[in-house]
Amino acid sequence: MKWPYLIAAASLIALSAYSQWPADAQSPPAAPPSSSPSGIISVKAPWLSAASTAGSAERVKDQDQNHDGVPDEVNAYIRQHYATSQVSQLAFTQLAQGWSSAIYEVSTPEQAKLAGEKIARGIACLMSEGVTQKTGKTVHAMYDELLKTRAEMLGTPQRTEAYLRFQTLAAGQYFADPGNQPCDFQPARLDN
């Protein structure tokens, strides 16, 4: 089992949810939580409202002219920032497709599990030896690039809300080990 990939995927999923929450949602509530008549404590959690709306994934719409599942402006970002490396472009596109699944296709915990596995596979591809050797970047450098690309992917309030909905639905689930060949392409067969 590839524990570093599994740990990295789980950490990134948790980190991405926390880092995208509104700043006021990250701090403790100003007033103590209110109690309902039944004695159950209720705490306002603004980021959970999107998770409770069944089928709301369909509300997020972005332009995708090449029909690869990634918004056009994210594809443009990937092409521009990784123009000299076809391997980087393919690896980041694969990961962005996982994020897109989380944003556009998730309304149930089962769908969240499938999207989470696509993301985990994308992260494993990006951090794989084949990709890091071809690009000449360390895993740490790739992680930094991943954070920048994810910020671009979550660059609208609608996408961020949808991704938080995914995070809520994916919570507590385990994702399959992507194995030794996590990329949807073969980095060794490409020039750069």
pLDDT digits (tens, 9 = 90+) for 101-150: 999 999 999 999 999 999 999 999 999 999 999 999 999 999 999 999 99
Which residue in this structure is represented by tokens 């076809």? 86
Kindly calculate the radius of gyration of the chain based on its CA atoms and give it in whole angstroms. Answer: 18
pLDDT of the residue at 60: 57
- Please give the DSSP secondary-structure letter assigned to residue 30: S
Contacts of residue 135, Cβ cutoff 8 Å, sequence gap at least 6: 85, 87, 88, 142, 192
Domain ranges of the chain: 3-27+46-54+70-189
Nearest partner of 172 among 2, 13, 8, judged by Cα: 13
Contacts of residue 99, Cβ cutoff 8 Å, sequence gap at least 6: 119, 122, 150, 153, 154, 163
Answer whether residue 45 shows pLDDT above 70: no
- Residue-level pLDDT at 39: 40
pLDDT exceeds 70 at position 48: no
Q: Is 171 helix (H, G, I), strand (E, B) or coil?
A: coil
Token duo for residue 176: 């399959």
| Whole-prediction pTM | 0.71
Confidence of residue 62 (pLDDT cuts 50, 70, 90): confident
- DSSP assignment of 173-187: -------S--SSS-G
Mean pLDDT of 86-94: 97
Q: What pLDDT score was predicted for residue 16?
A: 53
pLDDT over 50 (residue 52): no
